[in-house]
Amino acid sequence: MKKLSFLLVVSLLLSIMPAKADEGMWMLPLLEKLNAKKMQELGCKLTPEEIYSINNSSLKDAIVHFGGGCTAEIVSDKGLLFTNHHCGYSSIQKLSSVEHDYLNDGYWAMNLNEELPAKGLTVTFVDKFVDVTDRINKAIAKGKTDEEKGKAYEAEVEKIVEEATKHDKTLDAEVTSFYNSNAYYVITTRTFKDIRFVGAPPSSIGKFGADTDNWIWPRHTGDFSVFRIYADKNNNPAEYSEENVPYTPKQSLKISLKGFDKGDYTMIIGFPGRTTRFMLSEEAKETQNINNAISIFARGVKQDIWMEDMQADQKVRIQYSNKYASSSNGWKKWMGMNETFDKLNIVERRAAEEKEFNQWVNANKKRAAKYGSVVDDINNEVKGRAEYFYVYRYINETVSAVELVKASSMRRPGQIEAFFKDYSVETDRKLAKAMYKIYKEKVDPKYHPAFYERIDKEFGGDIDAFVDNLFDNSVFASQEKYEKAKAEGYDMQKDPATQIRKDIYAIAQVIMPEVMGSNHKVAELKQLYIEGVLEMQGDNAMYPDANSTMRLTYGQVLPYSPRDAVQYDFVTTLDGVMEKEDPDNWEFVVPARLKELWKAKDFGQYALPNGKMPVAFLSNNDITGGNSGSPVLNDKGELLGLAFDGNWEAMSGDVIFEPDLQRCINVDIRYVLFIIDKYGKAGYLLDEMNIVK
């Protein structure tokens, strides 16, 4: 296990400044050292201590990790928070039914008693980051073999976590690696489990444009939802209880109605999920030609099946809305990535960077001895694993996607109950027929699960007949069948769905050692490669890849030109919603009340100086998945809007940032407040907010 020493990391980072103001997902503890001067030059009026402090209340205390996959911000001293509609979508779906369709109709609690418990939802505050690189490296150095080094690492991590939490039992701690395991921080957090749904617009506002407009500018989506954090009487995290009270935060955001102009300073703090900015050329090919291509194809088929049934049945629509949204978001993103990989020559650009790195390495004998083969070693390993990664992707996207078979592994009563609440057996039957056919056609027979032999021998190769037999005879096809079988002592291991799962698992057992072994080897090589890149960069600051830890990105409100003779403005208005309206297309239906407000120009204090109602705006902040719901802040740290999307022309941004093209799409906070106040008639919520006019 090779490590870049802590002192080397510090020496490389302390005296350097970022090359581009609009690129970078920066670590908050390093803002003073790396970013403060440039941020101030762009117009930021806050000090790094006001943004991130471990001793005093700071801006980071108003921002939370929402549900583990999004970001949210506290907007009142009573624990009220904003996030995206698509971030709250899963919780809203769970609360919805045919009788109470909060997805379709929206919902607004008119007092605390009407706020709905969002079971299973959590929000997490960051307490602090502490650099433990030196401790980890010293512990690892004591080991002589890889096994000893691994055990030493685990033992030291356990000590660090225990020390970090022993004086405060409300804290959790995790040691997280950065720069591909060239640096380590222990991050302490505090998680709240009693979260309640306060309100959201109908999907015709919160998802306006749906798949068609997803990742596309101009955008006209009111992508927001409102929740509240509850705590015990001591303001500490607690499980749901009627005795709990609204949480009093250390800090909440001020909300600005003053708006912005082109070029104004913006910053975003959030929890970006994953980037691969150090991806090599063969990894880029693998991403494009295997991972993305397979998922695009398989999910396209799956989503068409789901959508057909969703449009035909209201119950199925509610059951599958969140499943569909989760699937389609990645599906369209990967299509955009593949398109931009070609248009922007991502593979060729990565190869050119590798050539530059190798030239630098070979110019010095000591460097050549250390880093000389690392690029070729990574690329060769990735090329050599293509067959296994191809099969692994098809397993995940096809035969493992059948819900009936997934259900056969469930044992907990609550788990089974939740499964059947959102399950349509006939929809899943159609899906199984399609997925089993795709896998048979696309994957070498030597990787076919054993049930394909039964299809040939017992059903004459008729996959449809096999699937019908499976669904007709499995107890997991309905809750009634399952409960009856359980009461009668039925052996679930003998169920045909369980056997299918075992057959798939047997193939996975062949594939997974190869996949995991290769991933481990590439990770070790990448650690060495990044060590070399850090050394080569010298005076150019580098931020680590996103890994779901809190980061800050700063930039400006800016338009962009996607292609020759086309110029996109940086703001959209409610006029654009009405221009897109199509009553016959569910993606572009406009609620009657919204049309009434627009016709009457009843926008109140939320309108632009020209009298129009703003909806969304652009900034050049560097974001990715996980930043959804993040606050877009002005130079004083006041809330301007919520980040919710990227733009189509720069869908390769997780790999290479495109400063001229890459934009963050944000819902304007004035539209959020307008919908709450004027449309939702829940203006009382604004009374607890600190609104700057």
Characterize 61-94 residue by residue with b for buried, 16 or more Cβ atoms within 10 angstroms of its Cβ, and e for exposed.
bbbbbbbebbbbbbbbebbbbbbbbbbbbbbbbb
Report yes or no: 17 and 34 within 8 Å, Cβ to Cβ.
yes
Angle at 223 between CA 589 and CA 418, to 5 degrees: 90
From 61, 127, 223, 635, the catalytic residue: 223
* CA distances (Å), origin 212, targets 20, 298, 300, 332, 337: 32, 19, 14, 9, 16
Strand, helix or coil for residue 64: strand
Closest CA to 198 of 101, 83, 98: 83
The dihedral built from the CA positions of residue 510, 512, 513 and 514, taken in this order, carries a sign that is: positive
Q: Are strands 254-256 and 690-692 parallel, antiparallel or unpaired?
A: parallel
3-state per-residue secondary structure call for 288-354: HHHHHHHHHHHHHHHHHHHHHHHHHCHHHHHHHHHHHHHHHHHHHHHHHHHHHHHHCCHHHHHHHHH
Report the run of H or E that residue 396 belongs to, with start and end: helix 386-397
As a whole number of angstroms, the distance between CA 336 and CA 273 comes to 18
204 is catalytic: no
User: What is the residue type of 22?
Assistant: D
From 76, 86, 225, 654, the catalytic residue: 86
85 is catalytic: no
From 204, 295, 628, 652, the catalytic residue: 628
As a whole number of angstroms, the distance between CA 689 and CA 639 comes to 11
As a whole number of angstroms, the distance between CA 614 and CA 617 comes to 8
Burial category of 98 from C-beta neighbours within 10 Å (exposed 0-12, middle 13-18, buried 19 and up): exposed
Closest CA to 26 of 554, 555, 641: 554
As a whole number of angstroms, the distance between CA 447 and CA 453 comes to 12
CB half-sphere exposure, 679, CA atoms < 13 A: 30
Closest CA to 463 of 477, 448, 476, 478: 448
Token pair for 398: 């096809």
As a whole number of angstroms, the distance between CA 3 and CA 136 comes to 10
Helices (H), 114-237: 133-141, 146-165, 203-206, 210-213
Characterize 643-678 residue by residue with b for buried, 16 or more Cβ atoms within 10 angstroms of its Cβ, and e for exposed.
bbbbbbbbbbbbbbbbeebbbbbbbbbbbbbbbbbb
619 is catalytic: no
* Residues annotated as catalytic (active site), given as ranges: 86, 223, 628
